[in-house]
Amino acid sequence: MNKTILAAIAAILTSVCLSAHADGGVRADSHAPIGVMAEHMHKTGEWMLSYRFMTMDMQGNLQGSDSIDPDTIVTTEPNRFAGMPGMPPTLRVVPLDMRMDMHMFGLMYAPSDKVTLMFMSNYLQKSMKHVTYMGGTGTTVLGNFETKSSGWGDTSASAMISLVSSEAAKVHAIVGVSLPTGSTDEEDEILTPMNMRPTVRLPYPMQLGSGTYDPLLGLSYSGFADRFSWGAQWRGTFRTSNNDDRYRLGDEHRLTGWFSALFTDLVSGSIRLERYTRDNISGIDPLIMAPVQTADPDRQKVERTDIGVGLNFAATGAMSGWRFAIEYIVPIQQDLDGPQLETDSQLILGVQRSL
């Protein structure tokens, strides 16, 4: 993590807080921790623009919840393409680490107090480092390579519909659709166990979109006391049809609960738990075929529990309407259909501007 950037962010946030003075009604924790989406609504006629930067680091592999090293993977883990021409019996290429940076842009608008509309798009930058073992058996390393992909991901359009709205409690439903604006045919050069360097369609985790129109559903609750607040939310993404490449990604669910404390009206700290699940892929892209775990539709399932700590800042005065937030998230439990890369940490920075 870049310490200079973090120090600069801390300095900006501190000056925003110090220059702000409290005025009635604004409280930092009226928005949930920044890693939670679609958790607040707006009043009739209000707009909000937001930008979030999220970075995710993955290092090392898990089989279930246990670490598995590359030498073990390439000698014991079966290759689902075994038996096809030139394919070895076991995996021979192992991902070592992955980094994903996501730039998320959001727009919210409330046509009434009962309904807030939300649009989100994101720009993704992914890179994955690998080790390739020589030939079809043994533990002789042939070399390393890195693949990269970048571009716009899928776009979502949702409506939040208020069910309960009082000072102390707010509940709303989330109904939306994810649109397939992200690419599913990203390519890059790889190193094969036969020491060739072809450019091929990249495995599933390196693609940018789903290729499908997916219903989004959710339910969100927030509760407020004088100096404290809390909330819970479930959001699901349902993959209902195959894409043009003959597969569909697994359904995703996020169940989260958080607790926030106000330090001043304009600064709050939070702690949050999240349960994230993603199913395996059904179907298979005939152009994604390699002796590597990421090319296997049955090695994509994730069950993970994360814990996050965060800070929210709400500005007033000259910067009224601006909010800044940060959240740092680490897993406390992971169970993967592996071998699969293990998540190490996520950092989310956010800026929001209400109009």
Residue pair 226/190 in contact by the 8 Å Cβ criterion: no
Interface with Cu ion by CB under 5 A: which range of 46-54, 57-65, 147-155, 324-332?
Answer: 46-54
Q: Which amino acid is at 242?
A: N
CB of 38 to Cu ion, least distance (A): 9
**Is 108 a binder of Cu ion (CB under 5 A)?**
yes
Position 38 contacts Cu ion (CB under 5 A): no
In the complex with Cu ion, which residue's Cβ is closer, 48 or 120? Answer: 48
Q: What is the DSSP string of 254-285?
A: EEEEEEEEEEETTEEEEEEEEEEEEPPPEE--
Which neighbouring-strand residues pair with 237? 216, 252
Q: Considering the complex, what minimum distance in angstroms separates the CB of residue 246 from Cu ion?
A: 38
Q: Which stretch binds Cu ion (CB under 5 A): 48-56, 149-157, 286-294, 324-332?
A: 48-56
Q: Which is nearer to Cu ion, 48 or 267 (CB)?
A: 48
Contact 128, 97 (CB under 8 A): yes
How big is the chain by its Cα radius of gyration, in Å?
22
Return the number of the residue (79 or 233) whose C-beta is nearest Cu ion.
Answer: 233
Residues in binding contact with Cu ion, number by CB under 5 A: 2
Would you call 76 helix, strand, or coil by DSSP? helix
238-277 binders of Cu ion (CB under 5 A):
none
Instruction: Work out the number of other CB atoms within 10 angstroms of the CB of residue 81.
Output: 17
Nearer to Cu ion, 108 or 292 (CB): 108
Q: What is the x/- site pattern for Cu ion, positions 296-335, by CB under 5 A?
A: ----------------------------------------
Give 338: exposed, middle or buried? Use CB within 10 Å, 0-12, 13-18, 19+. Answer: buried
User: Which listed range, 93-101, 107-115, 251-259, 303-311, lies at the site for Cu ion (CB under 5 A)?
Assistant: 107-115
Nearer Cβ to Cu ion, position 31 or 201?
A: 31
Strand-pair partners of 120: 106, 156
Q: Which of 20, 28, 38, 48 binds Cu ion (CB under 5 A)?
A: 48
Using rule CB under 5 A, residue 32 touches Cu ion: no
Instruction: Determine how many CB atoms are found less than 10 A away from the CB of residue 60.
Output: 15
Q: Binding to Cu ion (CB under 5 A): which residues in 186-225?
A: none
* Tokens representing residue 248 in the block: 């569909």
d(CA 61, CA 64): 10
Enumerate binding residues for Cu ion (CB under 5 A).
48, 108
